[in-house]
Structure 1
Amino acid sequence: MSVDSRPFTMTWNEVCARRLERHALSAPSTDMRPADIVTAMAGTHAQVLSAAELGIAQRIEGATRVDVREALWNDRTLVKTYGPRGTVHLLPARDLGMWVGALSAVPYSAPSSPDLRMTAEQTEEVIAAIGDALAGAELTIDELSEQVIARTGPWAADPVLPAFQGMWPRWRQAHHIAGIRGVMCFGPNRGRKVTYTNPRRWLPGLSPMEPETALAELVRCYLHAYGPATPQRFAHWLNAPVSWAVDLFASMGDRLEKVEVEGAQAWVTAGDTAVPSGPPEGVRLLPYFDTYAYRVGNHPAELLYPGRASERVLRGNFQVLLVDGVVAGLWHQRRSGRRLTVTVEPLRPLSPAHHRELDAQVGRVGEILQAHPELTIGEVTVGGHA
């Protein structure tokens, strides 16, 4: 790492402006495609796919949710799979080898209870069975379960994992690991049922990148989207051990550069210290989980969530009103046919210019979701992720 005793300095406003620009939130991109946007975001959280569609389309001038669906299911430039923190993400198909190589090398904790655990050999057996079962098919979870148990043994069927309305079979604890290893991803829904398939059906040349190279590239990707950052923040983003992240950053030597933000030390990729010439500006309505990714990657929380936002928004998964790079409120939408009611609750006074931008943003949300929006300023009464 850089040993310069006088690191490059950035203000919080410069960091905000830099992140807005890199996330295509300062202004929608005129030349990026959905896969480019997902790369710029270091992956897009997709636990609720409609939220991911909105978040990606917002960042591309004139795009709608249809463009994101085309990229995912027809062009295959996006893959829906398990990404950082073992959660559902959209990832660029062209970078899947890097993600698989890097995430497969991240340490994870096995279940603490001996009654739940699988041995390392059993885990590998399940992952191989999943990849084999999906090699030429799109299967629902029940169909996949039958195939995995048939390929492994009755031990895989033991109902030991607490689930929403019962118990899941033992093999399910390796479900997301199979996604991280690159032998499973999501397929198109079959009616209301989720399906899974092997990404090699669509990406026959898929090959995991060598772990050391992949991890270095993942750090670079993360720092481009969220830097300046620290190993501790990177570990939080991945849900990985802090000590492991510290060692990883140290192993990259002079490929990383130390900077100082408001008196605190952080890191960027070496030479990547450019900041926009102007201050962070703009009103944006961030959807579910887009907010979560922005929060996980952006710190410190007291600057990103100033004033009432720290009490009202920080602890829940709300859709947020972003004003000039910081959280200034929350919002919710309710759809009835083609009508879309958008309720925005500002947590600070908005200027007339901000109100005009908010009107435009609500109109843009309606365009993306192919609905007729109506804006109401008032309290959001639903809880997070409702």
Structure 2
Amino acid sequence: MADRERVIAYRVAAHQFDRATADAARLRVFDLGLQDSERSAVPALAARLETVPPLDGGAFTLTWTVRGAPHWHRAGEVPALAARLWPLGDADAVARMNRPPVTEGLRVLHEVASALRDVVTGPMTKGEASARLTPLVPPEVTGWCRGCEATHVHDPVFRLAVLPAGLRFDPAEQTVTFVPLEHRREVPARAEGFGDLVTDYLRLHGPAGYAEVAQYFGAPVRDVKAAWPDDLVAISKKSWLPADRVDAFEDPPEPEVVRLLPPLDPYLNARDRDLLVPDEEHQKQVWRVLGRRGALLVDGEVLGTWQARAAGGRLDVKVSPFVSLDVDMFAEEAARLARARGLEEAVIS
């Protein structure tokens, strides 16, 4: 295999698109968390599992984590995740808070998270939590919100504080509602275990280097480099893998799968987009800023996009291939996705 072909084949296998795993909790995507923006989690699981289990049954926890986005994590791993995702320095904290006018980013974030932890002692909506939190935090991280017609903590700061405050979402509520984690810990004093997240990223999205990992977690490259694990294996001058994944990289299976990947699927969240989709015009379609679309994955290559709309008990899936493709090849995947969404049938066009 050529270098790019080997990387693609390795990642397709690492993402477990072969559906050989029946237990959702054993999917590697949960090592980093499964993003659930725009209802992306269920179709991402449908691309990896024969049967998609309910995520709100207690085995998984939903909260704001990586890049301030909602992610599902294995429930038992969430309390320790707060220290792993804690910013690596003041500059990192300020950047993740969307650069409020502060210099001591870690101290300010600790104050906000500690106040939020004290405020939310039982189920509480985001609006109520925000109203109670705002007068308790430095004014530099608050501002007037025209939509709410109120002064409150800036949203990026609020999102960053939720996990270290020991809070999760109640998935049964339509409005964002927080619930304290069981056995929640004190707000972290420092980052601990970020190297484990680096290793998890490389197992799933490797081989990769400092820049890709930094962009994924929203951290400065220099801080990521300083926290880089010393037991990784260099695959090239700028990319590494964990030692236990080198053999899998050297001889990956052929990536013979056909999948409908949703927008924000973990496979598409790797940061080396030029490798995943070399054509720049195609990249613009796959990673649209507005009106996100899913990706057509055929034997490891992203060969187009798709959109879906539910109408009654039917899922209408419109595919837009970059090359000539028989759309019927996606019929089984569309039917599987419809079932995962609780619909009776799917139509491909």
Q: What interval of TM-score do these two structures reach, taking the shorter chain for normalisation?
A: 0.7 to 0.9
The sequence identity of aligned pairs, in percent, is 22
The total of aligned residue pairs comes to: 340
- Cα 1:227–1:193 change in 2 (3 A) is same
Task: Render the CA deviation track for 1:248-297: whole Å, top value 9, x for unaligned.
Answer: 22xx22x011103xxx741111242123543222111111211xx43331
Residue equivalent to 1:382: none
Letter of the aligned partner of 1:363 in structure 2?
A: A
- State the 1:348 CA deviation: 1.0
**1:315 Cα shift?**
4.1
User: Are 2:315 and 1:309 equivalent residues in the alignment?
Assistant: no
Report deviation, 1:126. Answer: 3.1
Distance verdict in 2 for CA 1:56–1:166, change over 3 Å: farther
1:23 aligns with 15
1:222 deviates by: 0.8
- Please show how residues 292-371 of structure 1 align to structure 2 within 5 Å: 293-297=266-270, 299-306=272-279, 309-316=282-289, 317-350=292-325, 355-371=327-343
CA spacing shift, 1:173–1:147, aligned 2, 3 Å: same
Query: Partners of 1:280 and 1:208 in 2: how far apart?
Result: 43
Displacement after TM superposition at 1:81 (Å): 1.2
> Secondary structure of the equivalent of 2:227?
helix
Worse-matched range after superposition: 163-172 or 126-135: 163-172
**Quick check: 2:21–2:27 contact (8 Å CA) kept in 1?**
no
| 2:144 equivalent to 1:169 | no
Q: 1:196 aligns with which of 157, 172, 178?
A: 178
Whole-angstrom distance in 2 between the partners of 1:298 and 1:92? 23
Instruction: Identify unmatched segments of 5+ residues in structure 1.
Output: 1-8, 378-386
What is aligned with 1:285?
Answer: 260
1:238 alignment partner AA: F
Distance in 2 separating the partners of 1:208 and 1:39: 26
Map Cα deviations across residues 120-144 of structure 1 (whole Å, 9 max, x no partner). Answer: 6664343223212323x11112221
**CA-atom RMSD in angstroms:** 3.2
Structure 2, gaps ≥5 residues long? none
1:61 CA displacement: 1.3
Partner-residue secondary structure (3-state), 2:196: helix
- Closer, same or farther: CA 118–271 of 1 in aligned 2, 3 Å: closer
Deviates more, 1:281-290 or 1:96-105: 96-105
Pairwise mapping of residues 1-386 of structure 1 onto structure 2 (< 5 A)? 11-25=3-17, 27-33=18-24, 35-37=25-27, 39-40=29-30, 42-48=32-38, 50-63=39-52, 67-69=53-55, 72=56, 74-75=57-58, 77-106=59-88, 107-109=92-94, 110-112=97-99, 114=101, 123-135=109-121, 137-149=122-134, 152=136, 160-162=143-145, 164=147, 166=149, 168-170=151-153, 172=155, 174-190=157-173, 192-200=174-182, 204=183, 214-249=193-228, 252-253=229-230, 255-260=231-236, 265-273=238-246, 274-275=248-249, 276-290=251-265, 293-297=266-270, 299-306=272-279, 309-316=282-289, 317-350=292-325, 355-377=327-349
Amino acid in structure 2 at the alignment position of 1:235: A
**Deviation for aligned residue 1:333:** 0.9
Is the 8 Å Cα contact of residues 134 and 142 (structure 2) preserved in structure 1?
Answer: no
The 8 Å contact of residues 114 and 165 in structure 2, kept in 1 or not, is answered as no
Give distance in 2, aligned partners of 1:208 and 1:220.
24
> 2:270, 2:54 → 1: CA distance?
23
Measure the CA separation in 1 of the matches of 2:331 and 2:304.
15
